[in-house]
């Protein structure tokens, strides 16, 4: 109980933006494991406490009293603790035996683009045919909490949690839990209650495992059935964030608890931007311990696309998920005076019965402040000429689309056209606007501006076509979806997979329209935060049908069966409508039905991560940090990254010397089966596979093959090329993408 007290005392002190200056900061401290694994938690805590200075109170520069204190004592996730310390105290601690490292607390961010809006229908639900809806599987969601009373978390038809479940629903939350929501804990940034006062966590949890909700609707329209990907899986929430961010100390504490509680899948839609080295990245660290216990960790890739090398959460033991569109549009059209029409999206679809033309007004014209008025920042639209006009605003500038609309409305405007950034390409957001409005591409925006230049009285009208299903180009990679190569480990292809993450409808804690007579509230938002829980749901379905599969096996099944073609049977496109490259889609777009029966799997033996990490040239101490045990890399036969038994290939520097790697596949298809290899060699490279045929005679039989990559061009300019190899039997096809950097 002593720890609980400390925990409560420091809720305010460890808040990342304290109003009172303090010399104390929160650190994550790694220590060596000195105690035998049999020792009790109490022993562990007193060992940790021995690193803290004797409780001398320090008067900080602000005159406030504070003493060094423990915030979290970690046991499953890592050997170490989080504590409030001064820099001098850390220096002192460094001298103690068993000290490994101390790292200041960092704030991670949620992986959502800020496009909150509304609606009431749900996405693709045809994925359950071959699975049993995730029954018996527990998904841990580390996020902003949950709104427990939402019908998406009803437990009608749900069995009680499996016997192995050891989690809890915190204190006064107990009566909120049921057979669907089986656990709820809150950490410091959660401010003491698992209740979601942001929306992000409710949205991600319901996307992964929300129950069926019939008659979900907003404004009485878009009526339909909402459901998560694994509607019969159990949910356990760990609240570590508020809308401002998430402390890494809290994330580690949540993962520590989730491991002990007995979750099967961890869904983590947050991260620290660019990938950092795994030994100092809390999510990579926590995910390693979780994976070791058989928990699959599914993470968002980040929203830093379309820029190269932006992918995060890229450790090979994590399933790294990028985002793409699905085949539904909330269509709106703007028609300009010369007859041209441009398509955009909006979740606000007013029923307008006529199409009156209104004068167009460019908020950016004569703007003295290039960062205020063109972006329609609230308060900046002072020109009286706006009254009665349709106003053109630029996307971004730190102003959410809905706020731009409110500013236009306040200034007397009757409609709004948002011109998106050029690098967003065709990725558009469907916002819940407060007036007729739509988001159009930069290319179309340029045409409208040119029209305005060409005439003294430019006019336009906005019309709404409602929900349109059947976009043949779907899935299209979202502009914001972070791209490979992975900076932390270029020899592992990332992201692993893409899934739906643009304009996703799911549960929301508040009514985003004015309709207060329903508890069944939904919202539509975008981000890799939204694609990650889709994959967490798919992993749950696979875990349910194949309880003996390891996290690496589930991941392999998802990757080797992914789609690389869109609904029109053409290669998946990116936001510029060009074929998406391998660093945008990884293995491709998730295909849950095929993933359920992959034929072969690439199982990564857990012990292989040691030679892999040593191969990354991490120091002994850094590797020991991750593994929570002493490792001496000089005594380990380290391997190149690309030698890890991974379902994809990323060869980061192929020069004149050919490179050879081995892979081992496990037969999970038909006992007697024969596979032949098919190779699409990257340009300028020959890929040889030996043997080219694999004959299996029993289930779970493992066979090994070798792949040799040889360069056939003399060019010495670095160049990225891509291809794939595929094992095909009469019933299965097992595909591995290949990324190669020629040097
Ligand atoms: C219970 O809920 C209230 C309201 O959210 C909160 O103030 C309180 O800290 C919670 N916890 C306990 C143990 O009462
Ligand atoms: C939604 O659909 C359900 C089932 O089809 C129906 O019973 C209900 O009246 C509908 N609600 C609205 C607002 O259209
Ligand atoms: C069309 O709608 C506009 C704006 O609501 C209104 O001013 C106009 O009178 C309407 N025109 C017709 C023909 O109904
Ligand atoms: C603003 O720009 C328009 C067109 O470029 C011009 O006709 C008008 O005089 C300008 N207004 C002011 C106040 O500068
Ligand atoms: C531009 O499109 C992206 C992708 O949907 C979206 O996140 C962003 O909010 C859009 N910009 C605006 C201002 O709507
Ligand atoms: C419109 O005209 C202005 C001034 O003549 C010019 O700077 C601008 O590039 C033009 N815009 C477009 C989209 O043609
Ligand atoms: C690691 O192993 C090498 C080779 O066996 C040895 O020389 C070195 O002392 C070891 N380092 C540690 C810290 O044990
Ligand atoms: C696999 O079996 C086929 C016949 O089913 C045989 O022709 C082939 O040589 C075998 N390949 C290997 C590598 O054993
Ligand atoms: C590559 O270089 C070698 C030796 O410099 C030369 O013999 C060969 O013809 C070159 N091949 C190509 C394709 O240019």
Q: Chain-wide mean pLDDT for the chain?
A: 86
CATH number at residue 459: 3.50.30.30
> How far does residue 199's CA lie from ligand 5's centre (Å)?
19
* Of 124 and 54, the one with more pLDDT: 54
What average pLDDT score do residues 463-489 get? 89
- pLDDT of 647 strictly over 90: yes
| Cα distance between residue 260 and residue 247, in whole Å | 20
At 35, the pLDDT band (50, 70, 90 cuts) reads low
Residue 604 in domain = no
Ligand 8 pocket member 703 (CB < 6 A): no
> How far does residue 261's CA lie from ligand 1's centre (Å)?
22
Q: Atom 4 of ligand 4 has which residue's CA nearest to it?
A: 365
What average pLDDT score do residues 66-82 get? 86
Among 65-79, 347-361, 489-503, the range with the most confident prediction by mean pLDDT is: 489-503
What average pLDDT score do residues 65-78 get? 83
Residue 620 in domain = no
Pairing between β-strand 80-85 and β-strand 600-601 as defined by DSSP bridges: unpaired
Residue 60: give the domain boundaries: 18-104
Q: Atom 4 of ligand 7 has which residue's CA nearest to it?
A: 634
Q: Atom 11 of ligand 4 has which residue's CA nearest to it?
A: 366
69 and 29 in contact (C-beta within 8 Å)?
Answer: no
pLDDT tens by residue, 659-688? 999 999 999 999 999 999 999 999 999 999
| Residue 235, helix vs strand vs coil | strand
> How far does residue 11's CA lie from ligand 1's centre (Å)?
13
Q: Atom 1 of ligand 4 has which residue's CA nearest to it?
A: 366
| Residue 585, helix vs strand vs coil | helix
Q: Atom 4 of ligand 3 has which residue's CA nearest to it?
A: 356
- pLDDT of 37 strictly over 60: no
Kindly state the tokens that stand for 536.
């967490």
> How far does residue 227's CA lie from ligand 1's centre (Å)?
30
> How far does residue 693's CA lie from ligand 8's centre (Å)?
7
Same-domain pairing of 126 and 98: no
CATH number at residue 69: 3.30.70
What average pLDDT score do residues 128-138 get? 73
Q: Atom 3 of ligand 3 has which residue's CA nearest to it?
A: 356
**Active-site residue list:** 143, 200, 529
Final residue of a structural domain among 104, 123, 138: 104
Same-domain pairing of 172 and 242: yes
Place of tokens 């008025």: 373
What average pLDDT score do residues 79-103 get? 89
Within 10 Å of residue 469's Cβ, how many Cβ atoms? 10
pTM: 0.85
* Of 515 and 169, the one with more pLDDT: 169
- pLDDT of 11 strictly over 70: no
* Of 360 and 466, the one with more pLDDT: 360
> How far does residue 417's CA lie from ligand 6's centre (Å)?
18
* Of 113 and 540, the one with more pLDDT: 540
531 and 324 in contact (C-beta within 8 Å)?
Answer: yes
At 9, the pLDDT band (50, 70, 90 cuts) reads very low
Ligand 2 pocket member 515 (CB < 6 A): no
With residue 694 as reference, give the H or E element that holds it: strand 693-696
pLDDT of residue 16: 28
Same-domain pairing of 438 and 349: yes
Final residue of a structural domain among 565, 598, 631: 598
- pLDDT of 620 strictly over 50: yes
Ligand 2 pocket member 220 (CB < 6 A): yes
Give the chain's domain count. 4
What average pLDDT score do residues 698-703 get? 98
What average pLDDT score do residues 498-513 get? 83
Within 10 Å of residue 278's Cβ, how many Cβ atoms? 26
pLDDT tens by residue, 711-721? 998 877 889 99
pLDDT of residue 590: 92
What average pLDDT score do residues 118-140 get? 56
* Ligand in nearest proximity to the CA of 711: 9
With residue 652 as reference, give the H or E element that holds it: strand 649-654
pLDDT of residue 444: 95
Q: Atom 5 of ligand 6 has which residue's CA nearest to it?
A: 453
The helix-helix angle for 282-292 and 248-261 (nearest 10°) equals 10
Among 217-221, 453-457, 620-624, the range with the most confident prediction by mean pLDDT is: 453-457
> How far does residue 450's CA lie from ligand 6's centre (Å)?
7
pLDDT tens by residue, 622-643? 998 888 888 999 999 899 999 9
Within 8 A by CB and 6+ apart from 121, the residues are 216, 217, 222, 223, 224, 225, 226, 467, 505, 522
Q: Atom 6 of ligand 4 has which residue's CA nearest to it?
A: 366
- pLDDT of 610 strictly over 90: yes
| Cα distance between residue 655 and residue 521, in whole Å | 56
Residue 507 in domain = yes
Residue 49 in domain = yes
Nearest ligand 5 atom to the CA of 480 is 4
pLDDT of residue 126: 34
- pLDDT of 15 strictly over 90: no
pLDDT of residue 5: 23
Same-domain pairing of 343 and 446: yes
pLDDT of residue 496: 98
> How far does residue 147's CA lie from ligand 2's centre (Å)?
24
Same-domain pairing of 480 and 570: yes
Kindly state the tokens that stand for 204.
């991600």
| Cα distance between residue 575 and residue 577, in whole Å | 5
pLDDT tens by residue, 140-169? 999 999 999 999 999 998 999 999 999 999
- pLDDT of 190 strictly over 70: no
Ligand 6 pocket member 100 (CB < 6 A): no
* Of 77 and 64, the one with more pLDDT: 77
Same-domain pairing of 363 and 463: yes
Same-domain pairing of 570 and 692: no
Ligand 3 pocket member 356 (CB < 6 A): yes
Residue 8 in domain = no
What average pLDDT score do residues 188-206 get? 87
Ligand 5 pocket member 395 (CB < 6 A): yes
Same-domain pairing of 183 and 249: yes
Place of tokens 């305010």: 12
Same-domain pairing of 689 and 659: yes
Residue 610 in domain = no
Same-domain pairing of 413 and 506: no
Same-domain pairing of 456 and 352: yes
Nearest ligand 5 atom to the CA of 393 is 13
pLDDT of residue 65: 66
Residue 623 in domain = no
Same-domain pairing of 553 and 655: no
CATH number at residue 729: 2.60.40.2310
- pLDDT of 478 strictly over 70: yes
Best residue among 172, 184, 190 to mutate for probing ligand 1's pocket (most ligand atoms within 8 Å of CB) is 172
Share of the chain above pLDDT 70, in %: 88
Pocket of ligand 1 (CB under 6 A): 171-172, 192-193
| Cα distance between residue 671 and residue 663, in whole Å | 20
Alpha helices in 281-416 (DSSP H): 282-292, 401-410
Please provide residue 99's backbone torsions phi and psi, each rounded to the nearest 5 degrees: -70, 135
Alpha helices in 262-390 (DSSP H): 282-292
CATH number at residue 241: 3.40.50.200
What average pLDDT score do residues 61-65 get? 57
* Ligand in nearest proximity to the CA of 624: 7
| Cα distance between residue 407 and residue 410, in whole Å | 5
Kindly state the tokens that stand for 492.
């592992």
At 658, the pLDDT band (50, 70, 90 cuts) reads very high
- Lowest pLDDT segment from 37-46, 279-288, 367-376, 563-572: 37-46
pLDDT of residue 536: 95
Within 8 A by CB and 6+ apart from 31, the residues are 47, 48, 51, 79, 80, 81, 98, 99, 100
Compute the chain's Rg from CA coordinates.
27
Ligand 4 pocket member 385 (CB < 6 A): no
At 524, the pLDDT band (50, 70, 90 cuts) reads confident
Final residue of a structural domain among 82, 104, 126: 104
Residue 627 in domain = no
- pLDDT of 517 strictly over 70: no
Ligand 4 pocket member 366 (CB < 6 A): yes
pLDDT of residue 516: 54
* Ligand in nearest proximity to the CA of 368: 4
């Amino acid at each position: 109980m002593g720890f609980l007290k400390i925990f409560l005392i420091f809720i305010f002190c460890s808040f990342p933006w304290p109003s009172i200056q303090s010399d104390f900061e929160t650190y994550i401290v790694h220590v060596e494991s000195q105690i035998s694994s049999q020792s009790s938690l109490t022993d562990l805590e007193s060992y940790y406490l021995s690193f803290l200075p004797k409780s001398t109170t320090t008067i900080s520069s602000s005159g406030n009293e504070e003493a060094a204190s423990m915030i979290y004592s970690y046991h499953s996730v890592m050997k170490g603790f989080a504590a409030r310390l001064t820099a001098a105290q850390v220096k002192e601690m460094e001298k103690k035996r068993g000290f490994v490292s101390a790292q200041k607390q960092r704030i991670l961010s949620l992986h959502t683009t800020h496009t909150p809006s509304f609606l009431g229908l749900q996405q693709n639900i045809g994925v359950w045919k071959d699975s049993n809806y995730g029954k018996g599987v527990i998904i841990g969601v580390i996020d902003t909490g949950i709104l427990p009373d939402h019908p998406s978390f009803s437990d009608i038809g749900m069995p009680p949690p499996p016997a192995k479940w050891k989690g809890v629903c915190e204190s006064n939350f107990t009566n909120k839990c049921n057979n669907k929501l089986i656990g709820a804990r809150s950490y410091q940034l959660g401010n003491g209650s698992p209740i979601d006062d942001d929306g992000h966590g409710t949205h991600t949890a319901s996307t992964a495992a929300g129950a069926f909700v019939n008659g979900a609707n907003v404004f009485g329209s878009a009526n339909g059935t909402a459901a998560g990907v694994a509607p019969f899986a159990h949910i356990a929430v760990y609240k570590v964030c508020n809308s401002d961010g998430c402390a890494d100390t809290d994330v580690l504490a949540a993962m520590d608890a989730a491991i002990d509680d007995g979750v099967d899948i961890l869904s983590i839609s947050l991260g620290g931007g660019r990938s950092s080295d795994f030994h100092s990245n809390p999510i990579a660290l926590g995910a390693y311990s979780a994976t070791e216990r058989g928990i699959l960790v599914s993470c968002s890739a980040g929203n830093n696309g379309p820029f190269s090398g932006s992918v995060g959460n890229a450790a090979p033991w994590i399933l790294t998920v990028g985002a793409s569109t699905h085949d539904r549009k909330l269509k709106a059209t703007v028609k300009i005076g010369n007859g041209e029409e441009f398509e955009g999206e909006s979740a606000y679809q007013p029923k307008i019965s006529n199409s009156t033309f209104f004068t167009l007004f460019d908020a950016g014209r004569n703007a003295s402040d290039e960062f205020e008025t063109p972006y329609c920042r609230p308060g900046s639209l002072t020109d009286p000429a706006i009254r009665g006009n349709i106003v053109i605003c630029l996307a971004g500038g730190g102003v959410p689309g809905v706020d731009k609309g409110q500013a236009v409305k306040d200034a007397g405007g009757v409609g709004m056209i948002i011109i998106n950034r050029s690098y967003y390409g065709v990725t558009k957001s469907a916002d819940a606007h407060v007036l007729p409005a739509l988001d159009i591409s930069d290319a179309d925006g340029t045409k409208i501006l040119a029209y305005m230049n060409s005439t003294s009285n430019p006019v336009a009208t906005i019309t709404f076509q409602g929900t349109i299903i059947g976009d043949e180009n779907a899935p299209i990679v979202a502009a914001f979806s972070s791209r490979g190569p992975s900076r932390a480990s270029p020899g592992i292809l990332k992201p692993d997979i893409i899934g739906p993450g643009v304009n996703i409808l799911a549960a929301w804690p508040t009514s985003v329209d004015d309709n207060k007579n329903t508890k069944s509230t939904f919202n539509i938002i975008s981000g890799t935060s939204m694609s990650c829980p889709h994959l967490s749901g798919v992993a749950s379905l696979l875990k349910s049908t194949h309880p003996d599969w390891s996290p690496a096996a589930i991941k392999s099944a998802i990757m080797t069966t992914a789609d690389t073609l869109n609904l029109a049977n053409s290669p998946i496109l990116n936001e510029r409508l060009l074929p998406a490259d391998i660093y945008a889609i990884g293995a491709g777009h998730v295909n849950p039905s095929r993933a359920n029966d992959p034929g072969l799997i690439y199982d990564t033996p857990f012990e292989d991560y040691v030679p892999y990490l040593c191969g990354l040239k991490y120091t002994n101490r850094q590797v020991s940090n991750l593994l929570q045990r002493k490792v001496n890399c000089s005594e380990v036969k380290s391997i190149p990254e690309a030698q890890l038994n991974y379902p994809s290939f990323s060869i980061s520097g192929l020069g004149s010397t050919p490179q050879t790697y081995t892979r081992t596949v496990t037969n999970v298809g038909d006992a007697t089966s024969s596979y032949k290899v098919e190779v699409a060699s990257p340009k300028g490279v020959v890929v040889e596979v030996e043997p080219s045929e694999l004959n299996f005679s029993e289930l779970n039989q493992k066979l090994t093959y070798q792949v040799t990559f040889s360069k056939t061009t003399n060019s010495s300019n670095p160049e990225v090329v891509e291809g794939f190899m595929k094992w095909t039997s009469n019933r299965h096809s097992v595909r591995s993408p290949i990324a190669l950097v020629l040097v």
